[in-house]
Amino acid sequence: MKIEIDLMECPFCGRKAELIECSGGWLVCCYYSDPLNALEDSEGVCPVGPETILTLKDAAIRIWNRRAYTPQTPKKERNE
Ligand SMILES: [Zn+2]
């Protein structure tokens, strides 16, 4: 089961991330870490393929979004 939600882009390739419900909880990963999905994009597979798994959906999204920040992200948007 896949859900559209407001996730930050992958911090490594800058493309979209996805949230997937799995047996261990909630997985957030780079959409292009899956070779099948990577066929859709000329850049191909994500070079890093980061992923975050947590039992709580909110936590998984929060942790992913925090990791997706770059040093260029304005501090006021970090909500820390
Ligand atoms: Zn990526």
* β-sheet bridge partners, residue 25: 22
User: Residue 69 in 3-state DSSP?
Assistant: coil
- Parent domain of 46: 2-77
Q: What's the CA-to-centroid distance between 56 and ligand 1, angstroms?
A: 22
How many CA within 13 A on the CB side of residue 44? 2
Q: pTM of this prediction?
A: 0.75
DSSP collapsed to 3 states, 17-29: EEEEEECCEEEEE
Q: What's the CA-to-centroid distance between 12 and ligand 1, angstroms?
A: 5
Q: What's the CA-to-centroid distance between 38 and ligand 1, angstroms?
A: 10
Q: How many domains does the chain have?
A: 1
Q: What's the CA-to-centroid distance between 68 and ligand 1, angstroms?
A: 10
Give backbone dihedrals phi and psi of 48, rounded to 5 degrees, phi first: -115, -45
How confident is the prediction along the chain (80 residues), in pLDDT tens digits per residue?
Answer: 555 558 999 999 999 999 999 998 999 999 999 999 999 999 999 999 999 999 999 999 999 999 876 555 555 655 55
